Amino acid sequence: MSLKNSLQERIRWFSEDVLPGALSDIGTRVERFRERLDHINCSLAERALPEERKSRVSELSLNRKAREAGQKLKVVKGAKKRKQANRSD
């Protein structure tokens, strides 16, 4: 067996047998790492946000999602106005 054939055989073995498994394993580890970072980020955000601002942040998030979905904001604002009107009575 020549050096060229030997190298080709080694490269083929590496690219067909070793590399796909290694890439799959790395992808799995990266996904788990992202999930852990997301969990840590959510935990830190939960601790950093005062209770009185949580409802406002939730409302802003819903408004942003409504805008992205193409809905009109008047529906959301109208519901808020009715709630405020009831409080003044």
Sign for the pseudo-dihedral over CA of 46, 49, 47, 33: positive
Read off the pTM: 0.46
Give yes or no: residues 40 and 60 share one domain: no
For residue 6, the enclosing domain spans 1-48
Give yes or no: residues 41 and 5 share one domain: yes
Give yes or no: residues 81 and 65 share one domain: yes
Give yes or no: residues 39 and 76 share one domain: no
Confidence of residue 82 (pLDDT cuts 50, 70, 90): very low
Give yes or no: residues 87 and 63 share one domain: yes
pLDDT 10s digits, 12-64: 999 898 888 899 899 999 999 999 999 999 889 888 877 777 777 778 888 88
Give yes or no: residues 2 and 42 share one domain: yes
**Domains in the chain, number:** 2
Q: Let me know: does 80 contact 88? Beta carbons within 8 Å.
A: no
